[in-house]
Structure 1
Amino acid sequence: MARPRHAAPIRTCIGCRRRELAVDLLRIVARGTETGNGSRVVEIVPDPRRRLPGRGAWLHPFSACLSTAERRRAIGRALRVSGHLDISALEQYLENRHEHS
């Protein structure tokens, strides 16, 4: 008897809100770091291997979706974090990815 095939996971891009297969989206996670003066900076990092711990959110690997997510303030909501969000590592990852494509 044949084993049933599992459907591929579908996720929603936090930028454009389109539903896609998870393999077509980039997972992002938040890493919180304390600064010396007591304020908190949350670094948003890409997780292309989908292995980092913590709550993840999904994003098309395009700068247009990142800017839309940033404008809508969807990154903090999706990851359930607040404070200053540092997306520089994510922006750098997307720029480098675009150069190699």
Structure 2
Amino acid sequence: MGARRAEPVRTCVGCRARVARSDLMRTVAVGGELRPDVRRCMPGRGAHLHPDLACLDLAERRRAFLRALRVAGPLGLEHVRAHLVQQRTAGEQR
């Protein structure tokens, strides 16, 4: 029998739950804006988040993105919020 590889574990910056990396969405700060990194290949420090608007709101209230990404100043969350809404509506149409 082959050896099973352990899947990487990451922490959601919103709810602080430790889960498999595949269950979270990676985000990256690009020019003062937070962007979803769907393919997980964008350069720079990333912060992981459940693909859920509640976790996004919680992370925003806790200023978790600023700490996790080590950036100063406000980050625009519009791109991530739009991505999550799009994913949710696509899931409802199935």
TM score, norm. by length of structure 2: 0.92
Please state which structure has a larger fraction of its residues in helix: 2
Is 1:81 matched up with 2:71? yes
AA paired with 1:25? L
1:12-54 deviation line (CA, Å, top 9, x unaligned): 000000011000000000012xxxxxxxxx1000011101110
Of residues 58, 69, 83, the one that matches 2:48 is: 58
Give the share of equivalent positions with the same residue, in percent.
Answer: 51
In angstroms, what is the RMSD of aligned CA positions? 1.1
Q: Which moved more, 1:77-86 or 1:3-12?
A: 3-12
Deviation at 1:5, TM superposition (A): 3.0
Pairs aligned (count): 91
Give, in whole Å, the separation in 2 of the partners of 1:11 and 1:45.
Answer: 18
Aligned to 1:12: 11
| Structure 2 unaligned residues grouped into runs of 5+ | none
Residue 82 of structure 1: how far off its partner (Å): 1.1
2: CA distance between counterparts of 1:95 and 1:4?
39
Cα deviation for residue 4 of structure 1 reads 3.8
Paired position in structure 2 for 1:97: 87
Gaps of 5+ in 1: 33-41
Q: For 2:8, give the aligned amino acid.
A: P
Query: Counterpart of 1:39?
Result: none
Pick the aligned partner of 2:35 from 45, 55, 58: 45
- Structure with bigger strand share is 1
User: TM-score of the superposition, structure 1-length normalised?
Assistant: 0.86
Q: Point out the structure with max Rg over C-alpha.
A: 1
**Whole-angstrom distance in 2 between the partners of 1:62 and 1:3:** 35
Structure 1 segments of 4 or more deviating over 6 A? none
